[in-house]
Amino acid sequence: MTQAPRNALVGGRFGAAADRYEDHAAIQRITAERLASDIALLPLPPCPRILEIGCGTGLLTQALARRLGPADWTVTDISPAMLAAARRGPALPGSARYQTLDGEHPDGLAGGYDLICSSLAVQWFADLNAGLARLAALLAPGGHLAVATLAAGTFREWQAAHRAAGLEAGTPPYPPARAIRPAMVNLAGGVRSERLIQNHPDGLHFLRGLKGIGATTPAAGRPPLGAAGLRRVLAAFDEQGATVTYHLAYGMWKKTAQRPVGVFVTGTDTGIGKTLVSAILARAWNAEYWKPVQTGVAEEPGDTDTVAQLARLPPERLHLPAYVLQAPLSPWAAATLEDTVVDATTIVPPATRAPLVVEGAGGLYVPIDDTHMMIDLIARLDMPVVLAARSGLGTINHTLLSLEALKRRGIPVLGVVMSGPPSAGNKEAIERFGGVRVLAEIAPLPRVDAAAVDALAQGIPPLAECLAALYEARAVTD
């Protein structure tokens, strides 16, 4: 079956369910509200240009309208009947147009959108990542793509019931959350995941719910079950408890411009003072700040708020993390505990108008996901490093090991910042044997506040001077 006829089939079945859709759309309503809450945190401009893909009866549309207020809305769906149902909802604040559209192939749209969003529609795309890339291409610079979709593991109980009956389920294959990302390089962001479990009285109730929302198109090439086979599957499903798991993936990406100028602040260890160093550098260089992966927010405020206060940064010079995790552990460990997927390959720096100070989590060999360490992210971002180190006993070994690891990866080091009681001997050893410059020594502070950061920032050399010295030294070495 080619994609165009399949899309028409999907749209027709959803259209046939338009009048009764919301009576069966509990999961869809929860997902739309949660996606809308995420979107409401984005720094959208006043009266943003919004394109919604697969609006259905308007669950996400209305959830956004309540949170965002006036906007320039383009609301679309592949089904004219669903589009008509959405149009019958409360009037949207601002200006609105409704358009029948195949969201996977959004031909004819001019682009320039501040927000493109979709809740539980893009899972019907034949090629999800290619379709997301086509949507992302319609974003204005700095615009956001925000989607909720289904991920691998959804309907696993229904699939297990088919296997128990010696059959194969016709449910569409869904990708792992970590594999969901638009096929574009200039997007910053990532995917978070969530698991919802829905209990049903029995299998017939579950099937009626799917029919009620129109989600009955089988995967390509899968014929519908015969009556005898369906009876066996329903018996096996009921025996398992008639429970259905939904694995939801929430993707949030921002369209970036060119790679920013700035530094990546990492450390020889955790708790080494990276956040204070980041605040000092941001203040000294009038920079913007970004922490790609934030952990430990269950126990203390995130580092973005801390740096904002210490460096006196206005909101427009702060960038939201790609991932925020509760536990005070490595991103990999925290994500495992929280049933969240972190993918280092989706982390791309934001577009900036000023130098960017990026703060890592932990040290160089803190795992981000199953295959990437913090040093891998630094290498991908291609930014010089400022290494935060202690000044006391053991720092020579720890600092030189970190410098050697960076050198082996070809990552340039702008300099080292040492925290603790000043040690002339340790400073000299690090500069001599590490071949780097100690940019600053931070003695113990009686009070860590904005005034202290102001004073320390005055002693930091200008960024242009540091970069010139770095690349001059590298040219001589090479």
Q: What is the pLDDT of residue 1?
A: 41
Residues 160 and 240: beta-carbon distance below 8 Å: yes
Q: What is the pLDDT of residue 2?
A: 46
Q: In angstroms, rounded to a whole number, what is the distance separating the alpha carbons of residues 244 and 160? A: 11
Rg (C-alpha) for the chain, rounded Å, is 26
pTM: 0.56
Question: Could you confirm whether 211 is annotated as catalytic?
Answer: no
Strands 288-290 and 243-255: unpaired
Q: What is the pLDDT of residue 222?
A: 66
254, 255, 291, 427: the catalytic one is: 291
pLDDT per residue as tens digits for the range 233-248: 888 888 889 898 999 9
Q: In angstroms, rounded to a whole number, what is the distance separating the alpha carbons of residues 360 and 373? A: 11
Q: What is the pLDDT of residue 8?
A: 56
Residue from 400, 467, 392, 461 nearest 435 by CA? 400
CA dihedral 455, 459, 465, 468 (to 10 degrees): -120
pLDDT per residue as tens digits for the range 78-114: 999 989 999 999 999 999 999 999 999 998 898 899 9
Residue ranges of the chain with pLDDT lower than 70? 1-19, 21, 184-185, 213-222, 257-260, 471-478
Q: Residue length, the chain?
A: 478
Q: What is the pLDDT of residue 365?
A: 95
